[in-house]
Structure 1
Amino acid sequence: MKLAVVLMLTALPLYCYAGSGCADIEYVIDKTIDPAESQSQFIEDLKQFIPGARTESALRKFKQCFLDQSNETLSNVSVMMDAIYNSEQCASY
């Protein structure tokens, strides 16, 4: 789980640098860490980004990992994401 989060966070600056914009990434991250968002609603909200059943299954498992966390942990992830967005490294994107 931690490795997946690290890899996802490592890819953020590259995604932004590619010129596709970070609004989509921020939307997905917000949906992922939202404890009120169910797996079904999560999949429905991200349908445009899901190319097939394998990706949907992986996203369901990924979302469940976040649903299993405490609200304190989810809040800390949100704080961490804000720190990343406001960091010097991300400022140029």
Structure 2
Amino acid sequence: MKLIVVLLLAALPLYCYAGSGCPFVEKMVETTLNSNVSTAEYIDVLKRYINDERTELAVVEFKDCFLRQSKDILKHVMEMMETIYNSKLCYYF
């Protein structure tokens, strides 16, 4: 099992090779920070990765946390993510 995890982590940068990072991760960050996306829509987007009730509850709490934030804070978080994507440390990924 550990070998599979190591291989997946090694393959992820190759899969996500793009200018600013992995398109899937970027889409999920954008969906998470978008206050127009409801919790139900968010769960629908992630349902393929939700295996049980605990995971679904965690996803609901995570999205609700962002829904309670002001638009200004969400804007700053998105700017932070863009800075991370464009940082020198992420350049090779």
Range class of TM-score, shorter chain: 0.7 to 0.9
Counterpart for residue 58 of structure 2: 58
Deviations 1:30-69 (A, max 9, x none): 1110010000000001112212211111010000000000
CA distance, structure 2, for counterparts of residue 84 and residue 37 of structure 1: 23
Q: How many residues align?
A: 79
Compared with structure 1, are the counterparts of its residues 72 and 31 closer, same or farther at alpha carbon in structure 2 (3 Å cutoff)? Answer: same
SS of residue in 1 equivalent to 2:35: coil
The one-letter amino acid of 1:89's match is L
SS of residue in 2 equivalent to 1:72: helix
Bigger radius of gyration = 2
Which stretches of structure 1, 4 residues or longer, exceed 2 Å deviation after superposition? 15-18
RCO higher in structure (CA 8 A, sep ≥6): 2
Counterpart for residue 40 of structure 1: 40
Gaps of 5+ in 1: 1-14
Gaps of 5+ in 2: 1-7, 17-21
1:23 aligns with 2:35: no
